[in-house]
Amino acid sequence: MAKETSERTFWGRLASWGPYHALMHLATASPRRQFLILAAFPILWILTQHLGPMLQMLRVSLTDAYPVAPGVEQHFTLENYARFFGDSIFWQPFFRTLIFAGVFTFCTLVLTYPVAYFLARHVSRKNQMLFLLLLLIPFWVGEIVRTYAIMILLGNTGAVNLALKTLGLIDRPIPFMYTSFSMGVGIVYLTALYMLLPLYSALEKLPKSMNEAAADLGAGAWTRFRRVSLPLTIEGISSGCTLVFLISTGFYATPVLLGGPSTTVFAETIAGFFHVAGDEWPTGAAFATIMFMAALIITTVFQKLMNSLRKGDKK
Amino acid sequence: MTKLILNRRRFLGTAAATGAALASPAYLRRASAQSGGEVNIWTYNNFVPDAFKEQFEAETGIKVNVRLVDDQGKQFNLLAAEQPNPTVDIMTVAGHRFLQFIDSELLAPLDTDRLSNWNKINPTFSESDWSTINGNKWGAPILSGMEVLSYNTEYVTEEEALTWDTLFSDKYKGQTAYIIQDMMSIVMLMKGYDGNMVAYLDDPEKAAAIVEEAKQFLIEKKPLVRKYYDGGAEFQQMMVNQDIMLGHSWNGPAAALINDGFPLAMTIPREGSYGFVYTYNIANNAPNADNAYTFLDAILSSPEIGAAMTKASGFISTYKDATNHLTDLEKKSTSFPDEQLANLQFFRAEANEMKYGLVDPAVEAIKAA
């Protein structure tokens, strides 16, 4: 009876259809074939969505004209890379971006670690999901909307200045906006989640008994944090910092909207080649490649450093 | 304050749009061809009045797809990337950028014989020297604008705003903003040079020296400026939040704030400034060229539509008699005293390749400094 029912359903009919049966047999006949079928989708995804655009950017960066205008012949060249290394004008926004990204990553870590610690260690398991959900609420809206929220908070007529004025602490508004401070607040706010989740995940795995044992042996709160919690959450710190650093190097809209004349970041320089300058896509692509490589090298070195720290602690 | 302004703006926009709708049926009813299909337009915010768009779609069956742009260079790049099979039919090119688009074969010459309403445009714009290149017309002028000094009237006096020097004075340190690229041309003018650089076409060394001088001036004055900005909405936001008290701006966004009741005024300072004209252009190989001509002829059909565009965007209409359909406040916000207009000259395109070849790296240097 059950067999009859299954044969009447679509899936039942499909399973007993000859060509489908043969195809399934062909695809799953050996573990090797199963692996190939399973791997095909992620590989295809990475090739088309990640590697493909990057390779295209690399190709454009090695040409002297793109998009190619009628009657213009395209040639390969390293001129676009030479332009960066040959003109110190571009070094300042480049290094400024890396320094800003490093500082903002550190600030995000310092600000989110206590939150993650509280969440993982002091909130009951059944309430943790609720707290996480509350922390996630600002991330339900996009980057631009959240950036405008910061503008409303920090503007001359914004909530912070209004509160300070109402409390009688200031006579004239403090110009928070269009400074490295406002940009930092924006970037920390936008990237906090990417730091919080790996930290929470690492702290949540940390057995409470280890801290209790350290306390029994006479370790104070600071020593317990320094000698137990911190070393055992290095993996989470490493993941969070890598994510936040990489995201911070690529931010464009937030520095444009919240930054000022002295906070120009490299993403703005790159964008300039794509629209303000009109027809310099290859230079923009070369500069983007340089930033990508620099960020990759820094995060690789950072990861290695964190790995050696972790191994050192295990010894 | 912001809420009030937005509500007022929405109200004024709706009123303007209704006015345009009431004005246009006479033309659109005559448009017997219910051709259908679509027309794709790249333009700035508020350059196609909503009521006109709705009515045009209803009466012709042609769907109007608007994609907003905020930068001429970005528009150029998008179109260059799409050619020879663009997705756009009509773009909005500033008159002084024509050459760049024409040289790259991105624009189709405009067949004005297909536009029965061509004569509704003020000949100052439709027949001016910049609008004819290689014996062809390349666009239908719709709105004109200028680079002005805008100021909050509660903090800055009119006398102070009559010179660009105030923008660089210590008194307003941290309370000013400007678009660097545009400011480069104005600084050249302030220093007595030709900001269009046409005068130096035969003397590239002198051109380079002038750009260098303007660059050094803006680097020196960098500690005084609050923000280098890119778009009109950003300028409006800074003014409304009182983050700045005065700044260089286009007259359109400033006029929109004035019409909303914000205490703002603008001048064309005595050192001079530049004007520009926005035109609707047909893309080379436009996929819906016939619909594009139908749209252009319809939007040029009455001064009320021109006035609606002015009300919504703040820029000055190029249509004959459009001012007759503006309120007194709108007339005031889109006009200047004769003695100030005498300081105005239009951007020119002849030396653009040399000029922007020098100015673009200078802009990067100023930002990086």
A90: closest chain B residue by CA: B368
B227: closest chain A residue by CA: A260
- With an 8 Å Cβ cutoff, are A178 and B243 in contact? yes
Separation in Å, CA of B323 to nearest CA in chain A: 33
Question: Which residue(s) pair with B317 in the sheet?
Answer: B143
Q: What are the structure tokens assigned to A167, written together?
A: 């409390």
Using a CB–CB cut-off of 8 Å, the residues of B that contact A are 1, 71, 73-74, 76-77, 80-81, 83, 100, 104-105, 174, 181, 222, 225-228, 230, 234, 237, 241-243, 356, 360-361, 363-365, 367-369
Reported as a single tens digit per residue, the pLDDT across A213-243 is 888 888 888 898 888 888 899 999 999 999 9
| Closest Cβ opposite residue B73 in set A70, A257, A275 | A275
Contacts of A175 in chain B (CB under 8 A): 174, 226, 243
Is the CB of A279 inside 8 Å of chain B's CB atoms? yes
Reported as a single tens digit per residue, the pLDDT across B2-48 is 333 333 344 344 444 444 444 444 444 444 344 579 999 999 888 99
Reported as a single tens digit per residue, the pLDDT across A47-59 is 999 999 999 999 9
Q: How far apart are CA B31 and CA B117, in angstroms?
A: 13
pTM of the model: 0.77
Q: How far apart are CA B254 and CA B57, in angstroms?
A: 31
| Closest Cβ opposite residue A277 in set B1, B73, B367 | B73
Q: How far apart are CA B334 and CA B338, in angstroms?
A: 13
Residue B96 has pLDDT above 90, yes or no: no
The owner of tokens 């009515």 is B55
Within a 13 Å sphere around the CA of B22, how many CA atoms are in the beta-carbon half? 10
- For residues A277 and B180, is the Cβ–Cβ distance under 8 A? no
- For residues B86 and B79, is the Cβ–Cβ distance under 8 A? yes
* Domain ranges (residues) in chain A: 1-43, 84-314
What angle separates helix B204-220 from helix B180-190, to the nearest 10 degrees? 110
- For residues B266 and B249, is the Cβ–Cβ distance under 8 A? yes
| Closest Cβ opposite residue B228 in set A151, A261, A279 | A261
Contacts of A156 in chain B (CB under 8 A): 241-243
- For residues B243 and A175, is the Cβ–Cβ distance under 8 A? yes
- With an 8 Å Cβ cutoff, are B364 and A157 in contact? no
ipTM score for this prediction = 0.72
Q: What are the structure tokens assigned to B310, written together?
A: 């002015």
Q: What are the structure tokens assigned to A65, written together?
A: 């004209």
Q: What's the longest Cα–Cα distance across chain A?
A: 85
Question: In terms of Cα–Cα distance, which of B83, B126, B127 is closest to B101?
Answer: B83
B173: closest chain A residue by CA: A175
Is the CB of A2 inside 8 Å of chain B's CB atoms? no
The DSSP secondary-structure symbol of A225 reads I
Q: What are phi and psi of A76, to 5 degrees?
A: -85, 140
| Closest Cβ opposite residue B227 in set A93, A261, A279 | A261
Into which CATH architecture does domain A84-314 fall?
Answer: Orthogonal Bundle (1.10)
Per-residue pLDDT of chain A (315 residues; tens, 9 = 90+): 555 555 567 888 888 888 888 888 888 888 888 888 889 989 999 999 999 999 999 999 999 888 777 677 889 999 999 999 998 889 999 999 999 999 999 999 999 999 999 999 889 988 988 988 888 888 888 888 999 999 999 999 999 999 999 999 999 999 999 999 999 999 999 999 999 999 999 999 988 888 888 888 888 888 988 888 888 999 999 999 999 999 999 999 999 999 999 899 999 999 888 876 556 889 999 999 999 999 999 999 999 999 888 777 655
What's the whole-number mean pLDDT along residues B249-265? 94
- With an 8 Å Cβ cutoff, are B105 and A269 in contact? no
Q: What are phi and psi of B241, to 5 degrees?
A: -80, 0
Separation in Å, CA of A304 to nearest CA in chain B: 32
> If DSSP codes are grouped into helix, strand and coil, which group holds residue A284?
helix
- With an 8 Å Cβ cutoff, are B77 and A156 in contact? no
Amino acid A314: pLDDT: 58
